[in-house]
Amino acid sequence: MRLALLLLLATVAPLGAQDGRVHVLLVTGLGGEPAEGRAFVEAATQIHETARARWGVADSSLIFLAERPADDSARISGRSTREEIGAAVMRLSRRVSPGDVLLVVVIGHGSGEGRSPE
């Protein structure tokens, strides 16, 4: 996961140099194990800090949703439920303008159970 995170940060590092504003939606999913959940939040936190410090993303354009917002209430603004994700997308849709960059990062794992993978 760390390599993927480094690649993401290196790939989108020039975002702050764009003419438009940058908006970021970070969503971490359910961790099957407590260590997974912590790793998801840690990775999203690194992106959150990069977005603020390097890309100059305003707090109003930086939304971080996670399984347990109380784990980092300074950064995590809500739970990563279907309803909260939908509300966050609607909030950002009212802020994004032509020429802006919208980065949506979803960190989690799927399920191979049932008829089709999720």
Domain segments of the chain as ranges: 20-107
For residue range 5-61, list pLDDT tens digits in order: 545 555 554 555 456 889 999 999 877 777 888 889 999 999 999 999 988 899 999
Q: How many CB atoms are located within 10 Å of the residue 93 CB?
A: 10
Tell me the sheet residues that pair with 62. 24
Collect all residues with Cβ–Cβ distance below 8 Å to 95 and sequence separation of at least 6.
21, 23, 60, 61
Prediction pTM value:
0.79
